[in-house]
Structure 1
Amino acid sequence: MSAPRPLGPGPVVCIGETMAALAPDPVAPLETAGLLRVDIAGAESNVAMYLADHGVPARWVSAVGDDPFGRRVRDGVAALGVDVTAVRTDPTRPTGLLIKNPGPDGTRVHYYRSGSAAAALGPELLRTDALRDAGLVHLTGITAALSPSCRALVEETLAPGRPYPVSFDVNYRPALWRHEPAAETLWSLADRADIVFVGLDEAQALWGDTVKDAGSVRELLPGPAVLVVKDGSRASTAFLGPTAYTVPALRVHVVEPVGAGDAFAAGYLASLRHGGDPVRALRLGHLTAASALRVTADHGPLPSPARLTELLTATEGGWSGATP
């Protein structure tokens, strides 16, 4: 474990696939749904969009197909203030697609992304201008599962001696790991990053009964200078070296949970970029996640600046039990 590396002054560069997304509106199981809303969905672009909402320069790097979905995806991300100049249009491969199927036990996501434009990304990307001025590079475990070339891209981005700090969200998606075990790969990638985000539930799903609490996740992942463990609607804990900081989650009426983890990561990173301490960073993570939880899309509006300031500076008692 090394000392935390400061984020540089350049943009946060978020690398990964964004797909067109179809979701029932209003929320209902697909079997009984009426209208389907066309939206966009991608973990890394979600982070980039929320960073832009927080006033942090963000660049999304990916590839889309030369098709209407690809143009909609690129335009949708750009409309939120994200730099999309490094997004490549692939003339032969399609834009990926996902369909959300809400149900009483949560939302199932069906992917149609095999052979997509973004699945052809590879480590040659690192030798373009896309990362030339990166203050931080953000990756997720999703990209590592898309193709051998995408895995190589993630591996090389995390190589020793890299000129930028890297944040890595484990983002375990079992449907993407049907043909190989995910546990060893995601552990190895996460332990090489500077900043890591992981849910306690996904850590337990990946690494088994040895994961009891946030502290046992830290024991399992000693490498990152900063490790953030999210325990659902209960709390989140940030480890800076061996020191732990815990902040309870806010009370939120959940409309649809997909995208909340990305929003949390963006809020935490935005606070770091603005010089926030660990508690303030965790609070901004919770506040940003609440914005995603309260809408059917992956991206929702932040609380007003006044409300953000009020809650970020509240006493522990004022924070506990608060709503955004």
Structure 2
Amino acid sequence: MERQSPVACVGETMAALLPDRPGPLEHVEAFRHSVGGAEANVARGLVALGVPAAWVGRVGADGFGRRIVAELTASGVDTSGVVTDPRRPTGLYFKEAGPGGSVLHYYRDGSAGSALSPDLLDVPVLRDAPLVHLSGITPALSQGAHELVAALLARRVPGRLTSFDLNYRPALWPPGADAGATLRPLLDAADIVLLGADEAETVLGTGDPAKLRALLPGPDVIVVKDDKHRATAVARTATATETALRVEVVEPVGAGDAFAAGFLAGTLRGLDLRGRLRLGHLAAAGALVVPGDHGPPPPPDRIAALLAASPDEWAATTITRGTA
């Protein structure tokens, strides 16, 4: 059987230091290593769902960079497209956990990831990828990173899909910058667009699925997640909405990337819009019931049963840490 080429997820991955207990950073005695980055999270989520995936990006020639590559490789992600920068360090962030949720503190200025550029266009794993996944984080990192994303979206390859998750991060944009002017043409150039209604309202002026469909005529499908814990997929000739499963949430960070991985996996498997949305919700549920950014999706037999479940059966399902 011919091996399937991996999905290519392109962007910055950082080292993450997670506290051993809640509270202000100055009171934390120890941190544990982890890996953070939207595109790497999606790659890991795809692999967990049985879809080969690669992360393409840059790390520093340091212990954090080596650890990122080793951890992603160990999780089954193809890292053949990772470039090691001999001069710039690997980006880093600390998580601060408190009663109101987590706060992330980034140290990424001048990082290896900020030097992403069109030089990566010739990475072999990008050549045969059935899908290239990007996010709005990358074009905010630097001019070179913006040019890389634009070039990947402009490079039309027969049979290849491109996906773009808005992933708006206000802190990455200079004061007064018009993020919408930069991100709108990139979103419109993708085949699949994923965004939250709240961030779409901020960046594009509306979070309404129908208005976003009119504003972005280019994509084949636009997926909008709203604050009612539901997602709507608007294709050219069809629309579907699916409410998320009830979940006993442990940590929300990483759920959006897991949803993206599930929706993209469903797309590559040829599921209909509702099936793609359900697989996205199932993958997100796996991330929500663990304390880190990555959680395994439910077992394949349970996924199959829930994809085929009636609306009442779906609505009656609750995912907990022990059942995901």
> TM-score normalized by structure 2?
0.92
2:293 matched to which residue of 1? 298
Q: Residue 289 in 1 paired to residue 284 in 2?
A: yes
Q: Is residue 185 of structure 2 the alignment partner of residue 165 of structure 1?
A: no
Cα deviation, residue 150, structure 1: 0.3
Give the whole-Å Cα distance in 2 for the aligned partners of 1:62 and 1:160.
18
Looking at structure 1, the residues matched to 312 and 130 of structure 2 have their Cα atoms a distance apart, in angstroms, of: 35
Q: Which amino acid aligns with 1:97?
A: L
Q: Give the match for residue 191 of structure 2.
A: 194
For the pair 1:274 / 2:275, whether they are aligned, the reply is no
Partner of 1:100: 95
Q: Does 2:178 match 1:181?
A: yes
Gaps of 5+ in 2: 320-324
CA distance in 1: counterparts of 2:141 and 2:87, whole angstroms:
17
Instruction: Give the deviation of 1:295 after TM superposition.
Output: 1.8
Query: 1:61 aligns to what?
Result: 56
The corresponding residue for 2:108 is 113
Amino acid at match of 1:48: A
Distance 1:25 1:199 in 2: 30
Q: Does 2:213 align with 1:225? A: no
2:72 is matched with which residue?
77
Q: 1:112 to 1:127 in 2, by over 3 A?
A: same
TM-score (norm 1): 0.92
Task: Confirm or deny: 8 A CA contact 1:233 1:250 kept in the other structure.
Answer: no
Question: How far apart are residue 108 of structure 1 and its match?
Answer: 2.2
| Contiguous gaps of at least 5 residues in structure 1 | 1-8
Q: 1:160 to 1:59 in 2, by over 3 A?
A: closer
Work out whether residues 239 and 245 of structure 1, in 8 Å CA contact, stay in contact via their aligned partners in 2: yes
Q: Distance in 1 between matches of 2:53 and 2:302?
A: 24
Change in 2 beyond 3 A, CA 1:25/1:306: farther
Q: CA deviation at 1:129?
A: 1.6
Query: Is 2:254 the partner of 1:243?
Result: no
1:313 & 1:161 partners in 2: Cα distance?
A: 34
Does structure 2 retain, via aligned residues, the 8 Å contact 1:10–1:136?
no
CA contact (8 A) 2:199 2:207 kept: no
Q: Which residue of 1 aligns with 2:322?
A: none
- Segment drifting more, 109-118 vs 95-104: 95-104
- Check conservation: 2:198, 2:207, Cα contact below 8 A: no
Within 2, Cα distance between the matches of 1:87 and 1:222? 33
Could you tell me how far apart the structure 2 residues matched to 1:104 and 1:85 are?
40
Instruction: Please give the secondary structure, in 2, of the residue aligned with 1:158.
Output: helix
CA distance in structure 1 between the aligned counterparts of 2:20 and 2:64, rounded to whole angstroms: 19
What percent of counterpart residues are identical?
A: 54
In the TM superposition, residue 102 of structure 1 has moved relative to its aligned partner by 2.9
1:185 deviation in Å?
A: 1.1
Contact 1:27/1:296 (8 A) holds in 2: no
Cα contact 2:9–2:40 (8 A) shared by 1: yes
Across the aligned residues of Structure 1 and Structure 2, the Cα RMSD in angstroms comes to 1.8
Per-residue deviation at 1:160? Answer: 5.6
Residues 1:30 and 1:232: Cα distance change in structure 2 (over 3 Å): farther
Aligned residues: 315
Structure 2: how far apart are the matches of 1:273 and 1:56?
A: 9
